[in-house]
């Protein structure tokens, strides 16, 4: 275990208070990982600042001592973005959890970086407003982490992702200065759009301490439907038919047979275990439009051979279905000790092909896989169910991932739709974006953070 210099610790205690500097193994070991399987790092010290000024002071101190900083929120990331690196300060921002204001006139919410995603939507809801991005971990994920990873969710097709809702940011720069980007104006073309550089920067360019978010009027009506199929292709084709009918539902999620079984084991809500694909559909908006769209979607599902189609009775059941879907990744962990989750994304019309390919790859390498994801936006989550202690099997998992990435890129897709590169995907980034683009990213990082103090080794080496 790397133990930080006593002088550094003393100064950290002065800045944030002794109770907010953790150094004993019992306190620090639980900060050695995030939500990513099979990845962990050594932690010497965890610091929990209580204000932007304290964050800034910690960063300045880190500069003085040449110590690196790995920032984290609730630690639910899925690409190892907040896994600590050797000798770093783990900067945990969960104490900065206040929702500062909801501005119903300008349709904005201002919050500290550690505010919980679901709490932001709940605060908006009090004013009849809606914060749409809903990553699987929204009940505990922090908004700062969502912005740093540019998180997605189940509503991407209609509502977009976190980036589409960020209007302004307060950021502590790598040298400790505090900078503000963006504002509450819908239109703003003053200079470079700097906030966009920080969205999805995974803690490598700055530490986001406050966010100004766009919110929208809460849809008056919502209808949730569930269709089951004997063939995955039929579910995918239903989605294509819905889009071709000029309907943009807020949610079009699919689960394969393996995932359905695991989710049902957990949620016990009566999902059909014997079908090959389940399509969760949701439309929201004006009540008349919702009724009309729901009717059409049900008819299209039936026409494509859905064996059973049903509408959620009420909000409670709709919520239950969406929550069950959000639990899919963790529920798959029931089967084997280690769960390796992928996040490849392909253009929507290539999704059925990709799902079929994943099944073939699993068969070829003799692996168990469960696949689920967002059929509406082409983002799928093939999840290998394995055991990290079995090195031979893990080698096969890596071969399978290699095959999946190659196919994804051939189809014009991306290695990560919503989880970020972090540690988990960095080996493939250059292949996807190309030499020049990759070099430019590294040049920006070098210019911005020449001493490589912020989250070193993430995204690229």
Partner 1 sequence: MKPSLKLLDYSILQQCMHCGMCLPACPTYDATKKERHSPRGRISLMRAVADDEMKLTPAFADEMSYCLGCLACQTACPAGVDYSNLLETARAEVQSAGLNQTFTSRFWRKVTIRGLFMRPRLLRFAGRLLWLYQRLGLQTAFRQIGLTKLLPKDLRRLEPQCPTVATKFSPQLIRPVETPTKQTHRVALLTGCVQDLVFADINRDTADVLLANGCEVHTPPVQPCCGSLHAHNGEGDAAKTLAKRMIDLFPPSQFDAIITNAGGCGNHLRHYGSLLAADPVYAPLAKLWDAKLRDIHEWMMEHGCRAPQAGLGDLTVTYHDSCHLTHGQKVTKQPRELLKLIPGLKLVELPEANWCCGSAGIYNITQPEQSEQLLVRKIGHVIGTGASILATANPGCHLQIARGLRQAGSPITLLQPVTLLARAYRAEKKASR
How near is the Cβ of 301 to partner 1 at its closest, in Å?
27
Are the C-beta atoms of 334 and 261 separated by less than 8 Å? no
In 10 A of CB 13, how many CB atoms? Answer: 15
How near is the Cβ of 438 to partner 1 at its closest, in Å?
30
Return the C-alpha torsion angle 327, 332, 336, 337, nearest 10.
-30
Sketch the per residue contact string, 386 through 425, with partner 1: x for CB under 8 A, - otherwise. Answer: -xxx------------------------------------
Contacts for 232 with CB less than 8 Å, ≥ 6 apart: 254, 256, 276, 277, 352, 355, 356
Question: Could you give the count of Cα atoms lying within 13 Å of 147 in the half-sphere of its Cβ?
Answer: 32
Is residue 279 a contact residue for partner 1 (CB under 8 A)?
no
In the three-class reduction of DSSP (H, G, I as helix; E, B as strand; rest coil), residue 355 is classed as: helix
Residues 17-76 that bind partner 1 (CB under 8 A): 22, 24-27, 29-35, 37, 48, 74-76
Q: Which of 130, 266, 448, 460 binds partner 1 (CB under 8 A)?
A: 266
Q: Which of 327, 390, 432, 452 binds partner 1 (CB under 8 A)?
A: 327
In the three-class reduction of DSSP (H, G, I as helix; E, B as strand; rest coil), residue 244 is classed as: helix
Is residue 339 a contact residue for partner 1 (CB under 8 A)?
yes
How near is the Cβ of 126 to partner 1 at its closest, in Å?
16
Is residue 131 a contact residue for partner 1 (CB under 8 A)?
no
Is residue 384 a contact residue for partner 1 (CB under 8 A)?
no
Is residue 274 a contact residue for partner 1 (CB under 8 A)?
no
Q: By CB neighbour count within 10 A (0-12 exposed, 13-18 middle, 19+ buried), where does 6 fall?
A: exposed
Query: Which residue, among 63, 81, 123, 64, has the nearest Cα to 99 in the 3D structure?
Result: 123
How near is the Cβ of 203 to partner 1 at its closest, in Å?
17
How near is the Cβ of 338 to partner 1 at its closest, in Å?
7
Here the tokens at position 25 are: 């193994």
Q: Which of 79, 82, 108, 137 binds partner 1 (CB under 8 A)?
A: 137
Is residue 82 a contact residue for partner 1 (CB under 8 A)?
no
Is residue 356 a contact residue for partner 1 (CB under 8 A)?
no
Query: Which residue, among 286, 335, 289, 291, has the nearest Cα to 311 in the 3D structure?
Result: 291
Q: Which of 60, 65, 98, 139 binds partner 1 (CB under 8 A)?
A: 139
Phi-psi region of 268 (alpha: psi -120 to 50; beta: other; left: phi over 0): left
Q: Which of 85, 240, 296, 338 binds partner 1 (CB under 8 A)?
A: 338
Query: Which residue, among 141, 145, 147, 181, has the nearest Cα to 164 in the 3D structure?
Result: 147
Binding residues with partner 1: total (CB under 8 A)? 42
> For binding to partner 1 (CB under 8 A), which residues are involved?
22, 24-27, 29-35, 37, 48, 74-76, 94-95, 97, 116, 137, 139-141, 263, 265-267, 327-331, 333-334, 337-339, 387-389
């Amino acid at each position: 275990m790397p133990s930080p210099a006593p002088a550094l610790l003393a100064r950290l205690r002065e800045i944030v208070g002794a109770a907010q500097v953790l150094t004993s193994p019992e306190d620090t070991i639980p900060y050695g990982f995030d939500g990513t399987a099979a990845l962990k790092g050594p932690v010497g010290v965890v610091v929990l600042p209580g204000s932007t000024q304290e964050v800034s002071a910690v960063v300045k101190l880190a500069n003085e001592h040449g110590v690196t900083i790995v920032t984290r929120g609730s630690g639910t990331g899925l690409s190892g973005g907040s896994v600590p690196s050797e000798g770093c300060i783990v900067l945990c921002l969960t104490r900065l959890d206040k929702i500062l204001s909801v501005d119903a006139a300008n349709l904005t919410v201002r919050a500290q970086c550690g505010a919980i995603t679901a709490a932001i939507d709940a605060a908006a809801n009090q004013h009849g407003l809606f914060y749409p991005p809903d990553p699987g971990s929204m009940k505990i994920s922090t908004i700062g982490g969502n912005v740093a990873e540019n998180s997605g969710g189940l509503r991407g097709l209609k509502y977009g992702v976190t980036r589409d809702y960020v209007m302004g940011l307060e950021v502590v720069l790598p040298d400790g200065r505090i900078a503000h980007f963006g504002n509450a104006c819908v239109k703003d073309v003053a200079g470079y759009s700097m906030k966009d550089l920080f969205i999805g920067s995974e803690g490598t360019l700055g530490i986001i301490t406050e966010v100004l978010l766009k919110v929208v009027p809460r849809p008056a009506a919502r209808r949730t439907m569930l269709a089951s199929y004997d063939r995955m292709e039929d579910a995918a084709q239903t989605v294509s038919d819905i889009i071709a009918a000029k309907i943009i539902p807020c949610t079009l999620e699919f689960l394969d047979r393996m995932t359905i079984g695991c989710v049902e084991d957990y949620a016990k809500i009566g999902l059909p275990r014997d079908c090959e694909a389940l399509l969760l559909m949701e439309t929201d908006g004006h009540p008349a439009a919702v009724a009309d769209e729901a009717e059409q979607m049900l008819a299209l599902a039936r026409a494509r051979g859905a064996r059973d189609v049903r509408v959620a009775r009420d909000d409670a059941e709709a919520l239950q279905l969406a929550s069950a879907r959000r639990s899919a990744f963790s529920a798959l962990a029931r089967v084997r000790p280690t769960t390796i989750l992928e996040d490849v994304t392909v253009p929507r019309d290539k999704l059925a092909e990709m799902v079929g390919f994943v099944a073939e790859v699993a068969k070829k390498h003799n692996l168990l896989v469960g696949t689920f994801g967002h059929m509406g936006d082409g983002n799928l989550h093939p999840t290998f169910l394995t055991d990290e202690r079995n090195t031979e099997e893990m080698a096969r998992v890596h071969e399978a991932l290699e095959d999946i990435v190659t196919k994804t890129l051939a189809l014009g897709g991306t290695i990560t739709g919503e989880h970020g590169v972090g540690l988990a995907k960095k080996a493939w980034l250059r292949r996807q974006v190309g030499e020049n683009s990759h070099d430019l990213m590294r040049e920006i990082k070098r210019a911005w953070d020449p001493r490589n103090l912020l989250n070193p080794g993430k995204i690229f080496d």
